Amino acid sequence: MTQNLLKLRVQNLHKTFTLHGRGGIELPVFQDVSFDVASGECVALVGSSGSGKSTLLRSLYANYLPSSGKILINHHGNWVDIASVEARTKLEIRRETIGYVSQFLRVIPRISSIDLVAEVAIAGGSPSEKAMEAAVGLLRRLNLPEHLWNVPPATFSGGEQQRVNIAMGLVRPYSILLLDEPTASLDAVNREAAIELILEAKKQGAAIVVICHDEIARDRLADRLFDVSQFKAAA
């Protein structure tokens, strides 16, 4: 039943970067992008390098500002355009509705891995013991060695950082998940663990948009592909 429930609607999205410091050079990325993602559905963004997959994903998280178009988020049953709504609502949507796993770990420095994960849950309203339990469970399933839990991830290997990242994105039952290369730099065992977790979230109804060059993972996760390069704007 929830299968058909739409969670995310992208309508006529357009993004151009204007570099004022370079005499106002315009770098068009994509134009007129439209697609929907329903609950329990996973859409993989594909396209050649530079086609704007990451830019699109970041726009969905309101990290980038679209030049025009709408990004409608089903936020507690209401459609909210995250591209134009006021900042505090964007923050609320991030806290309660959208989880984001970026390709690079960019976190608050000097905070231990386990606290980073637990804090996400606490910010979403979990009591701290529950949040800690959830964080422990996730890091364990992702095989992050226990002696690293109390260490800030700054010195971790790429794969270890990525697992902290995934845990942060999945620790809350978000209804929308945006995943940018979630399995890159993971070995086979850990990749499998990550895929399992993402599939569980999907099964629980999350609408997922993923960028994933790893075809094995992509095939396991995605229900359909969405080619961003077809929306390439003329320079």
Partner 1 sequence: MNALLEAQSVGHSYAGGQLGCEDVSFRLYPGEVLGVVGESGSGKSTLLGCLSGMIEPSQGSVRFDAGGQGLRDVFSLSEPERRLLMRTDWGIVRQNPRDGLRMNVSAGGNVGERLMAVGARNYTEIRGEALDWLTRVEIPSGRIDDLPRTFSGGMQQRVQIARILVSKPRLVFMDEPTGGLDVSVQARLLDLLRGLVRDLGVAAVVVTHDLAVVRLLSDRLMVMRQGRVVESGLTDQVLDDPQHPYSQLLVSSVLQA
Which residues contact partner 1 (rule: CB under 8 A)? Answer: 17-21, 58, 62-65, 87-88, 90-91, 108-111
Pick between residue 122 and residue 136 the one whose CB is nearest to partner 1: 122
Pick between residue 29 and residue 198 the one whose CB is nearest to partner 1: 29
Least separation, in Å, of the C-beta of 234 and partner 1?
Answer: 22
Least separation, in Å, of the C-beta of 66 and partner 1?
Answer: 10
Q: CA-CA distance, 114 to 136, in Å (whole number)?
A: 7
218 and 53 in contact (C-beta within 8 Å)? no
Least separation, in Å, of the C-beta of 56 and partner 1?
Answer: 13
Pick between residue 73 and residue 195 the one whose CB is nearest to partner 1: 73
Cβ neighbors of 37 (< 8 A, separation 6 or more) are 6, 7, 8, 43, 176, 207, 208, 209
Chain length of the chain:
235
Least separation, in Å, of the C-beta of 154 and partner 1?
Answer: 11
Q: Output phi, psi for 164, to 5 deg.
A: -65, -45
Pick between residue 5 and residue 122 the one whose CB is nearest to partner 1: 122
Least separation, in Å, of the C-beta of 201 and partner 1?
Answer: 23
Query: Token pair of 215, please?
Result: 């075809």
Pick between residue 88 and residue 147 the one whose CB is nearest to partner 1: 88
